[in-house]
Amino acid sequence: MLEAPSPADVPAAEFETVIGLEVHAQLLTASKAFAPVSNRFGNQPNTQVTPLCLGHPGTLPLLNENLVNYIVKMGLATHCQIAPRSIFARKNYFYPDMPKGYQISQFDKPICHDGHIDIELEDGSTKRIRIKRIHMEEDAGKSIHDQDPQNTLIDLNRSGTPLIEIVTEPDISSPAEAYAYLVRIKQIVQYLGICDGNMEEGSLRCDANISIRPVGETRLGTRTELKNMNSFRNVERALIYEIERQRNLVRAGGAVIQQTLLWDANKMETRQMRSKEEAHDYRYFPEPDIPPVIVTPEMLQELQASLPELPEDRKKRFVVAMELPLSDAEMLTDTREMADYFEAVCQAGANAKLAANLIITEVRRVLNEEGVSIGRFPVDPARLAGLLSLRQADTISSSAMQTIFNRMLEDAGDAASIARSLNLVQVSDTSFLEPLVDQILASNPDKVNAYRNGKTGLMGFFVGQIMQQSKGKANPKLVSELITKKINEQG
Amino acid sequence: MSVTRDDVKYMANLARLRLTESEIDMYQKDMNKILEYMEQLNQVNTDDVEPLEHVLELPARYRPDTAEPPLQHEDALKNAPDADSDYFRVPRVID
């Protein structure tokens, strides 16, 4: 173990931060990692268990093929090397929510290693975060300490749930980068459909190793480990707090000691884990009950072929093939469901740019207000495309599109029939519009003259008058064409 | 390298075993014998030998990802030294 540099006189700006993250993702398999029993469970404790989950003697683990399939997909999506042969190991410790006395995990031969993902920084540049390893393991049960003053209660429904742990190299230099990394991980697992990515509910969990060192120093400082950060924002906050704590400590002449800290989201501070909780000597050894995990070239090929288009590639395609601005593409590919929705709208005949605008502004506003995801949005892609094509054909004005959109949230009808029922179909009939134009021009001779003399800004006035006369139904583009034509004819 | 009495006590603690003084002596002796044997093995050149995690180099069998009915809730709790109608009950783990 290297000693921490002790640069008490280094100013804060000359410290750099070194962060490595360990993310656990709970897999959306149908059954548990090593037992053929449901991996989805509700509130009734100790109902989704088998003798294996309870740690009964004589039980043997049977490896779920989807645990392997899902982790290999994750490895491929993060550019990892996939080990053709990997080994399960036992991590030994005693805790009542893990009745067999060891966790089945992987240790020195993980199935995925040496990958990377790219994150976007605030200045628009890209940074590569190297992934050291991704390994398979099982989850423990749940301990409940606050229901019974004398006892701890144990629910083993979660016991044996399949997890993957994604470990980075210490490549992350700030809390903002850590946040961007987590968002990307969440996005990838959701695109792959292997984890729901919900950090608040614990299906994604994050621990951080964090140290500081003077800029230019190549050795790592002594690190602390941060746990218990149960939201993306809390990870960022906890890291900010811990970096500040370490800097203040070192500037005051102290030294960081290696310890595990728990983030307290209510007090917004970290506290030291009790030494008992921290004491670990896991005595890993190869799991004798599970033979080596072999990934054949055929399996690898099949899994590679089954990968969906990943967010990075999809974003690039939206920019290149659909000519969307990068920021729009970023928002539309945020979740796979959103990107699918957008593409379905385009496939139903809508113009990509118009569709992108409406989805980014109006659809996302509604989703935010209602707190729902696109899967529960009441207007399906075909109806939204119908609305957009009315606008594309200039059958409705942009403000009418807004009105119809709002109506469609409650009305299951198609856009065209709503437009008719609300009397919002634009009038593009010149035989109706021409007399109106003539009338407005005739009653404003001074403005017509001023226009001819260069005050072209008056076009807005003319069009406005006609919109008023037509109760908003005139096609403004056609109206301004008519006005230009008439004024030129008269002059 | 040899095993001290403290090493034995440390390992006993990790394994949650309570040992008498004479048992500590006994395990210390046994473990040192094992290490002596390992020393003997250390003399063999193993540079080109892959670690052997499993005696039989058979690949792990994959189980289809399907769920079967779980153990009945009552049966799950039946053998527990202590339980309420929902949970296993153990002595309080944290203070």
Cα A486 to Cα A481: distance, rounded to the nearest angstrom: 9
Let me know whether A184 and A254 are in one domain: yes
Asked if residue A384 lies in contact with residue A342, where contact means CB atoms within 8 angstroms, the answer is: no
Let me know whether A392 and A440 are in one domain: no
What are the residue boundaries of the structural domains of chain B, listed by start?
1-44
Let me know whether A128 and A237 are in one domain: yes
Give the residue numbers spanning the domain of A404.
309-421
Let me know whether A334 and A377 are in one domain: yes
% of chain A exceeding 70 in pLDDT = 96
Domain count, chain A: 3
Let me know whether A261 and A320 are in one domain: no
Let me know whether A90 and A55 are in one domain: yes
Cα A475 to Cα A428: distance, rounded to the nearest angstrom: 6
Q: Looking at the partner chain, which of B60, B68, B76 has a beta carbon nearest the beta carbon of A49?
A: B76
Contact A151 B92 (CB under 8 A): yes
Look at A367 and A454; give whichever has higher pLDDT.
A367
pLDDT on residue A276: 53
- The answer as to whether A1 is a domain residue is no
Contact with chain B for residue A280, Cβ under 8 A: no
Residue A44: Cβ within 10 Å count: 11
Contact with chain B for residue A151, Cβ under 8 A: yes
Let me know whether A278 and A368 are in one domain: no
What is the average per-residue pLDDT within A204-225? Answer: 93
Let me know whether A163 and A217 are in one domain: yes
Let me know whether A117 and A259 are in one domain: yes
- Contacting residues of A for B58, CB less than 8 Å apart: 291
Let me know whether A152 and A275 are in one domain: yes
The pLDDT tens digits for A310-368 are 999 999 999 999 999 999 999 999 999 999 999 999 999 999 999 999 999 999 999 99
Contact A153 B87 (CB under 8 A): yes
Q: Looking at the partner chain, which of B54, B63, B84 has a beta carbon nearest the beta carbon of A62?
A: B63
**β-sheet with A88-92: strand ranges across:** A102-106, A88-92, A285-286
Contact A30 B14 (CB under 8 A): no
Which of A421, A451, A470 terminates a domain? The answer is A421
Query: Does the pLDDT value for residue A5 go beyond 50?
Result: no
pLDDT on residue B95: 52
Asked if residue A237 lies in contact with residue A269, where contact means CB atoms within 8 angstroms, the answer is: no
Chain B (27-46) residues lying within 8 Å, Cβ to Cβ, of chain A: none
Contact with chain A for residue B61, Cβ under 8 A: yes
Minimal CA separation from B21 to chain A, in Å = 24
Contact B70 A50 (CB under 8 A): yes
Chain A (152-211) residues lying within 8 Å, Cβ to Cβ, of chain B: 152-156
Contact A49 B86 (CB under 8 A): no
- The answer as to whether A303 is a domain residue is no
- Contacting residues of B for A144, CB less than 8 Å apart: 87
Question: What rounded mean pLDDT belongs to chain A?
Answer: 91
Q: What is the ipTM of this complex?
A: 0.92
Minimal CA separation from A55 to chain B, in Å = 11
Query: Does the pLDDT value for residue A405 go beyond 50?
Result: yes
- The answer as to whether A23 is a domain residue is yes
Contact B54 A286 (CB under 8 A): yes
**For position A462, which CATH number holds?**
1.10.10.410
Let me know whether A238 and A330 are in one domain: no
Into which CATH architecture does domain B1-44 fall? Orthogonal Bundle (1.10)
- Contacting residues of B for A87, CB less than 8 Å apart: 53
Q: Which parts of chain B register pLDDT below 50?
A: none
Which of A396, A421, A446 terminates a domain? The answer is A421
Contact with chain A for residue B91, Cβ under 8 A: yes
Contact B77 A46 (CB under 8 A): yes
Which of A390, A421, A452 terminates a domain? The answer is A421
b/e burial code for range A68-91 (CB count within 10 A of at least 16 → b): bbbbbbbbbbbebebbebbbbbbb
The pLDDT tens digits for A236-275 are 999 999 999 999 999 999 999 988 899 998 888 888 876 5
Let me know whether A282 and A332 are in one domain: no
Contact B59 A292 (CB under 8 A): yes
Q: Looking at the partner chain, which of A45, A152, A286 has a beta carbon nearest the beta carbon of B90?
A: A152
Query: Does the pLDDT value for residue A110 go beyond 80?
Result: yes
Lowest-confidence region among A128-132, A231-235, A381-385, A428-432: A428-432
pLDDT on residue A489: 79
Contact with chain B for residue A54, Cβ under 8 A: yes
Query: Does the pLDDT value for residue A11 go beyond 70?
Result: no
Cα A221 to Cα A218: distance, rounded to the nearest angstrom: 9
- The answer as to whether A4 is a domain residue is no
A123 pLDDT band, cuts 50/70/90, is confident
Look at A14 and A115; give whichever has higher pLDDT.
A115
Cα A45 to Cα A351: distance, rounded to the nearest angstrom: 51
The set of long-range contacts for A234-237, using a CB threshold of 8 Å and a minimum separation of 24, is: A234/A263, A234/A265, A235/A175, A235/A178, A235/A179, A235/A182, A235/A206, A235/A208, A236/A175, A236/A176, A236/A178, A236/A179, A237/A175, A237/A263, A237/A265, A237/A268
Minimal CA separation from B81 to chain A, in Å = 13
A81 pLDDT band, cuts 50/70/90, is very high
Contact with chain B for residue A302, Cβ under 8 A: no
- The answer as to whether A3 is a domain residue is no
- The answer as to whether A416 is a domain residue is yes
Minimal CA separation from B3 to chain A, in Å = 16
Minimal CA separation from A39 to chain B, in Å = 8
- The answer as to whether A302 is a domain residue is no
Q: Looking at the partner chain, which of A37, A54, A64 has a beta carbon nearest the beta carbon of B68?
A: A37
- Contacting residues of A for B93, CB less than 8 Å apart: 95-96, 143, 145, 152
- Contacting residues of A for B73, CB less than 8 Å apart: 44, 46-47
